[in-house]
Structure 1
Amino acid sequence: MNMEERVTELESRLAFQDDTIQTLSDELVAQQRLIERLQLQLAALAKRQEDISGQLESAGDEAPPPHY
C-alpha cells in the first residue's frame, strides 16, 4: 500500500467518523429535548396530583352529616 492509498484510506475513515459523530450529536440533542419535555410533563403531573390530594384531604376533614 503506497502513501497515496494510505492517505485516501485515512481520509475515507475520517469522513465516516465525522458523519458518525454528527449523527450521534444530533441524536443526543433530540434525546435531551425529549428529556426536557418529559421533565416538564412530570412536574405538571406532580402539581396536579398535589392539587387533587389537597382537595381530597380537605373533603375528608368535613364533619359527617348529622344523621351519623
Structure 2
Amino acid sequence: MKARFFKVERSQHAYLTFITESYEGLCTVSTVDNKNGIIRVIAPKGREDELEGLIHALQEEIGMEEIIDYE
C-alpha cells in the first residue's frame, strides 16, 4: 500500500500513536511535518481494509483529515 497523509491536531499525535500501536502490525505512523500536524500512515499488504476501518473511526473521533497528493 502506498503512503497516505493526514492532518491531525498536534495535541492528538500521542493519542493517535497510542491507538495505532495497540493494533500490532497494522500500520506505521510517522510525523512528516510536526509544525503543520502532517502524518504519514503505511499499512502492510493484506491489512489495508482493517486500517481503513480504524482511519474512519479516528477521523470521526479526533478529526483526522486526509491530504490527497501530499509531498
Q: If the TM-score is normalised by the length of the shorter chain, which range does it land in?
A: under 0.3
Bigger Rg, which one: 1
Give the TM-score normalised by structure 1: 0.25
Instruction: Identify, as 1 or 2, the structure richer in helix.
Output: 1
